[in-house]
Chains A and B, each alone.
Chain A
Amino acid sequence: DTGVSQDPRHKITKRGQNVTFRCDPISEHNRLYWYRQTLGQGPEFLTYFQNEAQLEKSRLLSDRFSAERPKGSFSTLEIQRTEQGDSAMYLCASSPMLGQNSPLHFGNGTRLTVT
Protein backbone atom coordinates (compact mmCIF):
# COMPACT_ATOMS: atom_id res chain seq x y z
CA ASP A 1 0.00 0.00 0.00
CA THR A 2 1.91 3.02 -1.29
CA GLY A 3 -0.92 5.49 -0.72
CA VAL A 4 -2.69 7.81 -3.12
CA SER A 5 -0.27 9.69 -5.34
CA GLN A 6 -0.99 13.02 -7.04
CA ASP A 7 1.08 14.84 -9.63
CA PRO A 8 2.13 17.60 -9.81
CA ARG A 9 2.22 18.89 -6.23
CA HIS A 10 2.09 22.48 -7.36
CA LYS A 11 1.01 24.12 -10.61
CA ILE A 12 1.16 27.81 -11.47
CA THR A 13 -0.54 28.80 -14.69
CA LYS A 14 -1.77 31.90 -16.42
CA ARG A 15 -5.44 32.59 -16.82
CA GLY A 16 -6.83 31.00 -19.95
CA GLN A 17 -4.37 28.09 -20.05
CA ASN A 18 -5.37 24.45 -19.76
CA VAL A 19 -4.04 22.26 -16.95
CA THR A 20 -4.19 18.53 -16.26
CA PHE A 21 -3.67 16.74 -12.96
CA ARG A 22 -3.07 13.06 -12.39
CA CYS A 23 -4.10 10.80 -9.52
CA ASP A 24 -2.90 7.24 -8.88
CA PRO A 25 -5.15 5.58 -6.29
CA ILE A 26 -4.25 2.76 -3.96
CA SER A 27 -4.10 -0.35 -6.10
CA GLU A 28 -7.31 -2.39 -6.19
CA HIS A 29 -9.40 0.50 -4.86
CA ASN A 30 -12.49 0.57 -7.04
CA ARG A 31 -13.63 4.04 -6.10
CA LEU A 32 -11.86 7.29 -6.90
CA TYR A 33 -12.96 10.78 -5.89
CA TRP A 34 -11.94 14.32 -6.74
CA TYR A 35 -12.45 17.13 -4.24
CA ARG A 36 -11.53 20.81 -4.28
CA GLN A 37 -10.44 22.73 -1.20
CA THR A 38 -10.00 26.48 -0.86
CA LEU A 39 -8.29 28.23 2.04
CA GLY A 40 -10.17 27.92 5.31
CA GLN A 41 -12.81 25.61 3.86
CA GLY A 42 -13.41 21.90 3.96
CA PRO A 43 -13.03 19.88 0.76
CA GLU A 44 -15.97 20.04 -1.67
CA PHE A 45 -16.96 17.02 -3.74
CA LEU A 46 -16.40 17.31 -7.48
CA THR A 47 -16.86 13.85 -8.99
CA TYR A 48 -16.41 10.16 -8.37
CA PHE A 49 -15.67 7.00 -10.33
CA GLN A 50 -16.43 3.39 -9.67
CA ASN A 51 -13.87 1.53 -11.76
CA GLU A 52 -13.89 3.38 -15.11
CA ALA A 53 -17.46 4.68 -14.83
CA GLN A 54 -18.00 8.29 -13.73
CA LEU A 55 -21.10 7.92 -11.57
CA GLU A 56 -21.65 11.38 -10.17
CA LYS A 57 -20.62 14.96 -10.89
CA SER A 58 -21.16 17.98 -8.69
CA ARG A 59 -22.75 21.15 -9.98
CA LEU A 60 -19.39 22.71 -9.09
CA LEU A 61 -17.91 20.87 -12.06
CA SER A 62 -18.54 23.32 -14.88
CA ASP A 63 -18.15 22.35 -18.52
CA ARG A 64 -14.54 23.57 -18.35
CA PHE A 65 -13.74 20.62 -16.08
CA SER A 66 -13.43 17.04 -17.28
CA ALA A 67 -12.29 13.94 -15.46
CA GLU A 68 -11.43 10.52 -16.80
CA ARG A 69 -10.41 7.14 -15.47
CA PRO A 70 -9.87 5.25 -18.70
CA LYS A 71 -8.80 1.85 -17.42
CA GLY A 72 -10.19 1.99 -13.95
CA SER A 73 -6.78 2.73 -12.47
CA PHE A 74 -5.31 6.27 -12.56
CA SER A 75 -7.46 9.32 -13.17
CA THR A 76 -6.90 12.73 -14.74
CA LEU A 77 -8.68 16.00 -14.05
CA GLU A 78 -8.42 18.65 -16.76
CA ILE A 79 -9.40 22.28 -16.41
CA GLN A 80 -9.73 24.23 -19.65
CA ARG A 81 -9.45 28.02 -19.94
CA THR A 82 -8.47 28.40 -16.30
CA GLU A 83 -9.85 31.30 -14.27
CA GLN A 84 -8.51 32.88 -11.10
CA GLY A 85 -11.41 31.35 -9.19
CA ASP A 86 -10.05 27.91 -10.05
CA SER A 87 -7.11 28.50 -7.68
CA ALA A 88 -7.43 25.83 -5.00
CA MET A 89 -6.05 22.54 -3.73
CA TYR A 90 -7.35 19.63 -5.80
CA LEU A 91 -7.52 16.45 -3.74
CA CYS A 92 -7.91 12.90 -4.94
CA ALA A 93 -9.12 10.07 -2.73
CA SER A 94 -9.78 6.38 -3.17
CA SER A 95 -11.58 3.64 -1.31
CA PRO A 96 -12.44 -0.01 -1.75
CA MET A 97 -16.06 -0.86 -2.48
CA LEU A 98 -16.85 -2.33 0.92
CA GLY A 99 -19.90 -0.36 1.98
CA GLN A 100 -20.04 1.51 5.25
CA ASN A 101 -16.65 0.60 6.61
CA SER A 102 -14.55 2.14 3.86
CA PRO A 103 -12.64 5.25 4.91
CA LEU A 104 -11.42 7.50 2.16
CA HIS A 105 -7.66 7.65 1.62
CA PHE A 106 -6.51 11.03 0.37
CA GLY A 107 -3.44 12.07 -1.56
CA ASN A 108 -1.43 15.19 -0.72
CA GLY A 109 -3.21 17.18 -3.39
CA THR A 110 -2.23 19.43 -6.29
CA ARG A 111 -2.17 23.11 -5.44
CA LEU A 112 -3.23 25.20 -8.43
CA THR A 113 -2.48 28.91 -8.64
CA VAL A 114 -3.96 30.82 -11.57
CA THR A 115 -2.33 34.22 -12.15
Chain B
Amino acid sequence: KQEVTQIPAALSVPEGENLVLNCSFTDSAIYNLQWFRQDPGKGLTSLLLIQSSQREQTSGRLNASLDKSSGRSTLYIAASQPGDSATYLCAGGTGANSKLTFGKGITLSVRP
Protein backbone atom coordinates (compact mmCIF):
# COMPACT_ATOMS: atom_id res chain seq x y z
CA LYS B 1 0.00 0.00 0.00
CA GLN B 2 1.40 3.37 -1.03
CA GLU B 3 2.00 5.90 1.74
CA VAL B 4 2.99 9.50 1.01
CA THR B 5 4.62 11.79 3.57
CA GLN B 6 5.25 15.52 3.41
CA ILE B 7 7.39 17.21 6.05
CA PRO B 8 7.26 19.86 7.41
CA ALA B 9 3.52 20.57 7.60
CA ALA B 10 4.09 24.31 7.30
CA LEU B 11 6.79 26.62 6.01
CA SER B 12 7.21 30.40 6.09
CA VAL B 13 9.76 32.18 3.91
CA PRO B 14 10.49 35.78 2.87
CA GLU B 15 9.58 36.89 -0.63
CA GLY B 16 12.24 36.18 -3.24
CA GLU B 17 13.65 33.09 -1.58
CA ASN B 18 14.17 29.89 -3.56
CA LEU B 19 12.68 26.93 -1.73
CA VAL B 20 12.29 23.16 -1.90
CA LEU B 21 9.26 21.18 -0.78
CA ASN B 22 9.86 17.51 -0.01
CA CYS B 23 7.70 14.46 -0.57
CA SER B 24 8.50 10.81 0.21
CA PHE B 25 6.65 7.66 -0.80
CA THR B 26 6.95 4.02 0.19
CA ASP B 27 6.15 2.09 -3.02
CA SER B 28 8.87 2.51 -5.62
CA ALA B 29 6.59 0.94 -8.26
CA ILE B 30 5.04 4.35 -8.64
CA TYR B 31 3.21 5.03 -11.90
CA ASN B 32 3.44 8.81 -11.75
CA LEU B 33 3.90 11.58 -9.22
CA GLN B 34 1.79 14.71 -9.25
CA TRP B 35 2.13 18.01 -7.41
CA PHE B 36 -0.96 20.08 -6.70
CA ARG B 37 -1.69 23.49 -5.24
CA GLN B 38 -4.72 24.09 -3.03
CA ASP B 39 -5.93 27.52 -1.96
CA PRO B 40 -8.14 27.76 1.18
CA GLY B 41 -11.63 26.40 0.59
CA LYS B 42 -10.87 25.49 -3.01
CA GLY B 43 -10.17 22.41 -5.03
CA LEU B 44 -6.77 21.25 -6.25
CA THR B 45 -4.89 22.69 -9.20
CA SER B 46 -2.46 20.39 -10.97
CA LEU B 47 1.03 21.90 -11.15
CA LEU B 48 3.29 19.18 -12.52
CA LEU B 49 3.07 15.49 -13.36
CA ILE B 50 6.18 13.31 -13.59
CA GLN B 51 5.86 9.94 -15.25
CA SER B 52 7.74 6.99 -13.74
CA SER B 53 10.22 7.02 -16.63
CA GLN B 54 11.05 10.70 -16.13
CA ARG B 55 13.39 12.43 -13.67
CA GLU B 56 11.94 15.93 -13.65
CA GLN B 57 9.42 18.34 -15.08
CA THR B 58 9.51 22.13 -15.29
CA SER B 59 6.84 24.78 -15.63
CA GLY B 60 7.80 28.41 -15.25
CA ARG B 61 9.32 28.95 -11.79
CA LEU B 62 8.47 25.40 -10.73
CA ASN B 63 10.62 22.31 -11.10
CA ALA B 64 9.68 18.89 -9.79
CA SER B 65 12.01 15.91 -9.55
CA LEU B 66 11.41 12.21 -9.00
CA ASP B 67 13.85 9.66 -7.57
CA LYS B 68 12.11 6.30 -7.45
CA SER B 69 15.05 4.46 -5.89
CA SER B 70 15.07 6.68 -2.82
CA GLY B 71 11.29 7.18 -2.76
CA ARG B 72 11.54 10.96 -2.96
CA SER B 73 10.18 13.84 -4.96
CA THR B 74 10.92 17.53 -4.58
CA LEU B 75 9.15 20.66 -5.79
CA TYR B 76 11.50 23.58 -6.31
CA ILE B 77 9.98 27.08 -6.38
CA ALA B 78 12.25 29.83 -7.65
CA ALA B 79 11.99 33.44 -6.55
CA SER B 80 8.96 32.90 -4.33
CA GLN B 81 6.15 35.47 -4.33
CA PRO B 82 3.31 36.17 -1.86
CA GLY B 83 0.92 34.76 -4.46
CA ASP B 84 2.63 31.38 -4.05
CA SER B 85 1.16 31.12 -0.55
CA ALA B 86 -1.01 28.00 -0.55
CA THR B 87 -0.96 24.33 0.44
CA TYR B 88 1.12 22.11 -1.81
CA LEU B 89 0.23 18.44 -2.03
CA CYS B 90 2.07 15.61 -3.69
CA ALA B 91 0.33 12.44 -4.78
CA GLY B 92 1.56 9.12 -6.09
CA GLY B 93 -0.26 7.10 -8.69
CA THR B 94 0.27 3.33 -8.55
CA GLY B 95 -1.66 2.19 -11.57
CA ALA B 96 -2.90 3.13 -14.99
CA ASN B 97 -6.25 4.10 -13.49
CA SER B 98 -4.64 7.32 -12.22
CA LYS B 99 -5.92 6.70 -8.68
CA LEU B 100 -3.77 8.82 -6.40
CA THR B 101 -2.52 8.55 -2.82
CA PHE B 102 -1.98 11.99 -1.32
CA GLY B 103 0.29 13.39 1.34
CA LYS B 104 -1.15 15.77 3.92
CA GLY B 105 0.36 18.78 2.20
CA ILE B 106 2.75 21.58 3.12
CA THR B 107 1.21 24.97 3.87
CA LEU B 108 3.51 27.61 2.45
CA SER B 109 3.43 31.25 3.50
CA VAL B 110 5.55 33.75 1.56
CA ARG B 111 6.01 36.97 3.54
CA PRO B 112 6.19 40.26 1.59
Contact = CB atoms under 8 A, between A and B. Distances in A.
Interface in A62-115: 91, 93, 95, 99-109, 111
Interface of B: 4, 31-32, 34, 36, 41-46, 49, 51-53, 89, 91, 96-105
Contacts of B43: 4, 6, 91, 106-109
Contact of B49 (A4, A103, A109): A103
A45 B46 contact: no
A33 interface: yes
A109 B51 CA distance: 26
Interface of A: 4, 6, 31, 33, 40-45, 48, 50, 55-56, 91, 93, 95, 99-109, 111
A102 B98 contact: yes
A52 B97 CA distance: 15
Contact of B44 (A43, A48, A101): A43
Given A100-B32, A108-B43, A48 B104 contact: no
Contacts of A45: 99-101
Contacts of A42: 4, 89, 91, 102-105
